[in-house]
């Protein structure tokens, strides 16, 4: 039996010794050591493509800045620039193999980027991978840089890029709820407080409220996104700028702004910016707020659709899969349920970020990898959760008009609308009588001689009950035209 062909390798050396690296790998010895040291999550950094792109953007901007200020010759700077662009364009992402959770404050991620981009550049120059005497991952690709400014800057840029798709999906979800608000604008229902019958409203108003709260979250997340725009490039190890040219920081900022199209700014205190990770905590808490509010909406949807016979049964969620292996015909609200679970994970991720921020010591926070992973995961999962909620649930919701109408007709809560005319005490007494005797509230008010039939029916009209037609200035007017506004 013929033996397998030997695997071709190249020898690379670092301060710890030498290792054999697969000849076709674009990564090198630093990445190989990290792969051996951190087999924790089995999830490489390439699961977050925008982080990989952001790393390449930082390397590209640094190459251009180093060439501009004269600390890197044009040939090498151009090779690094062009190699980084290929990564930005989506090539070689499979070569970013280090785990998302790693020790070393992100050094393994930074070196993974340095090695891959360097070896791409060497190949483009017609040289062998690993020919670091000509182009070095550290002396050239990492020139004027440290992990401690590259990594947090790349994380902030990557999060900013990823956030765009989240905000787009959040707005689409908001619009989906608005569409249902318009569709349901004339359907009267019983409102509830503390799970007890309250006063009437329209189903459209309920869905409009969902849309409004999501719109508020869109604004809050957008505002907090600006926290990601302060970077510390030029800080190098601890913020003192050691090994950098005095002109490097403004030069790399200029090129990063051009490459990313983000309104980036260099921190005024690089020592503080290198050690402080509070911006990540604030940003994460905003994501948690959105997740919690979205989860609350899903709780409401599950309640409103509960039944179909022994629950609220006010709306119908699209049937997406069989709900039981033992109960025939059972259908569960699986889409809101999965969104609930994503929200729980986001809350946990936010706690992880909080503890990691607190765990920083002196001039550096060593725990930025778990901060980055936690926030990237939250954004990614929330975006997908919003998509499935919109496409597989909200867009297909229908209303049980007859059931809603019957519940409003039997509701004692409508007497609240008559309190300005008959007084609270009389209204309370008649409500109690209606509950005990199962009588109609309107009939009891007329029989008591408190209002005429016409007056009662006018005040108990759907428009008055839901606030669509104002009785006093204190009642907001919500019309179908208002609901359509985006």
Count of Cβ atoms closer than 10 Å to residue 292 Cβ? 16
Q: Quote the pTM value.
A: 0.88
Whose structure tokens read 């790693």? 102
Q: Is the dihedral of CA 130, 134, 135, 136 positive or negative?
A: positive
Tokens at 16, concatenated: 């710890």
Q: Is the pLDDT of residue 415 over 80?
A: no
CATH topology of domain 9-143: Fumarase C; Chain B, domain 1 (1.10.275)
Going from N- to C-terminal start, the domains of the chain cover: 9-143, 149-234+270-321+329-399, 411-466
Report pLDDT digits (tens) over 83-126: 999 999 999 999 999 999 999 999 999 999 999 999 999 999 99
Whose structure tokens read 């108990």? 460
Write the CATH number of the domain with boundaries 411-466: 1.10.40.30
Tell me the average pLDDT across 324-343.
Answer: 87
Count of Cβ atoms closer than 10 Å to residue 358 Cβ? 11
Whose structure tokens read 């707005």? 171
CATH class of 149-234+270-321+329-399: mainly alpha
Cis bond before residue 308 (omega within 30° of 0): yes
Mean pLDDT is lowest, of 128-137, 154-163, 359-368, for 359-368
Residues 401, 393, 168, CA angle at the centre, nearest 5°? Answer: 125
Count Cβ atoms within 10 A of the Cβ of residue 440 and give its class: 0-12 exposed, 13-18 middle, 19 or more buried. middle
For residue 90, the model assigns a pLDDT of: 97
Q: Are 255 and 347 in contact (CB under 8 A)?
A: no
Confidence of residue 471 (pLDDT cuts 50, 70, 90): low
* Cα gap 473→475, rounded to integer Å: 6
**What are residue 10's DSSP bridge partners?**
21
Q: Is the pLDDT of residue 227 over 50?
A: yes
For residue 55, the model assigns a pLDDT of: 98
The closest of 106, 89, 97 to 153, measured between CA atoms, is 106
For residue 457, the model assigns a pLDDT of: 78
Q: In the chain, count of helices (H) and strands (E)? A: 18, 8
Distances (CA, A) of 358 to 62, 348, 351, 364, 391: 30, 15, 11, 12, 39
Q: Are 42 and 29 in contact (CB under 8 A)?
A: no
3-state secondary structure of 311: coil
For residue 439, the model assigns a pLDDT of: 84
Catalytic residue among 18, 222, 282, 324: 324
3-state secondary structure of 40: coil
Q: φ, ψ for residue 132 (rounded to 5)?
A: -75, -10
Q: Are 383 and 294 in contact (CB under 8 A)?
A: no
Asked if domains 9-143 and 149-234+270-321+329-399 share a fold, the reply is no
Report pLDDT digits (tens) over 44-73: 999 999 999 999 999 999 999 999 999 999
Element at 84 (helix H, strand E) = helix 74-88
Residue spans of alpha helices (H) in 192-277: 203-225, 248-260, 270-275
* Cα gap 116→55, rounded to integer Å: 11
Chain centroid to Cα 179, Å, comes to 23
Confidence of residue 477 (pLDDT cuts 50, 70, 90): very low
Tokens at 463, concatenated: 């428009």
Report pLDDT digits (tens) over 133-182: 999 999 999 999 999 999 999 999 999 999 999 999 999 999 999 999 99
For residue 486, the model assigns a pLDDT of: 42
Q: Are 377 and 349 in contact (CB under 8 A)?
A: yes
Mean pLDDT (the chain) is: 90
Tokens at 413, concatenated: 């809560």
Count of Cβ atoms closer than 10 Å to residue 238 Cβ? 17
Q: Is the pLDDT of residue 480 over 70?
A: no
Count of Cβ atoms closer than 10 Å to residue 455 Cβ? 14
For residue 462, the model assigns a pLDDT of: 66
3-state secondary structure of 7: coil
479 catalytic residue (yes or no): no
């Amino acid at each position: 039996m013929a033996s397998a062909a030997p695997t071709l390798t190249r020898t690379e050396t670092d301060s710890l010794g030498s290792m054999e690296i697969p000849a076709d790998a674009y990564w090198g010895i630093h990445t190989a050591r990290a792969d051996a040291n951190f087999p924790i999550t089995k999830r490489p950094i390439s699961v977050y493509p925008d982080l990989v792109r952001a790393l390449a953007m930082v390397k590209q901007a640094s190459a251009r800045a180093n060439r501009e200020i004269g600390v890197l010759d044009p040939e090498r700077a151009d090779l690094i620039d062009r190699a980084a662009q290929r990564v930005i364009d989506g090539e070689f992402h499979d070569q970013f193999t280090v785990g998302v959770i790693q020790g070393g404050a992100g050094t393994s991620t930074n070196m993974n980027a340095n090695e891959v981009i360097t070896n791409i550049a060497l190949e483009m120059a017609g040289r062998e991978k690993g020919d670091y005497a000509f182009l070095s991952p550290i002396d050239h690709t990492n020139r004027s840089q440290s992990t401690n400014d590259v990594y947090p800057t790349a994380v902030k840029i990557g999060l900013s890029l990823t956030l765009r798709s989240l905000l787009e999906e959040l707005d689409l979800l908001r619009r989906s709820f608005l569409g249902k608000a318009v569709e349901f604008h004339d359907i009267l229902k019983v409102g509830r407080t503390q799970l007890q019958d309250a006063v009437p409203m329209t189903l459209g108003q309920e869905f409009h409220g969902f849309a409004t709260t999501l719109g508020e979250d869109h604004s809050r997340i957008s505002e907090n996104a600006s926290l990601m725009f302060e970077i510390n490039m030029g800080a190098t190890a601890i913020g003192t700028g050691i090994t950098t040219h005095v002109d490097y920081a403004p030069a790399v900022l200029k090129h990063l702004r051009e490459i990313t199209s983000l309104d980036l700014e260099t921190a005024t205190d690089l020592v503080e910016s290198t050690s402080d990770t509070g911006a990540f905590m604030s940003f994460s808490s905003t994501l948690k707020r959105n997740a919690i509010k979205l989860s609350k909406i899903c709780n409401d949807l599950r309640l409103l659709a509960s039944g179909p016979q022994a629950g609220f049964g006010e709306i119908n969620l699209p049937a997406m899969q069989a709900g039981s292996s033992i109960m025939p015909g059972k259908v569960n609200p699986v889409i809101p349920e999965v969104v609930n679970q994503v929200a729980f994970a986001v809350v946990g991720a936010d706690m992880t970020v909080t503890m990691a921020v607190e765990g920083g010591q002196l001039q550096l926070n060593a725990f930025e990898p778990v901060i980055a992973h936690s926030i990237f995961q939250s954004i990614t999962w929330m975006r997908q959760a919003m998509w499935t909620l919109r496409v597989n649930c909200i867009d297909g919701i229908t209303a049980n008009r007859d059931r809603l109408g019957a519940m409003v007709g039997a509701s004692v809560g409508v007497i609240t609308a008559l309190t300005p005319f008959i007084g609270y005490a009389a209204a309370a007494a008649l409500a109690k009588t209606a509950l005990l005797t199962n009588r109609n509230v309107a009939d009891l008010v007329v029989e008591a001689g408190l209002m005429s039939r016409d007056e009662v029916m006018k005040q108990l009209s759907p428009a008055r009950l839901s606030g669509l037609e104002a009785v006093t200035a204190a009642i907001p007017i919500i019309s179908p035209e208002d609901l359509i506004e985006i």
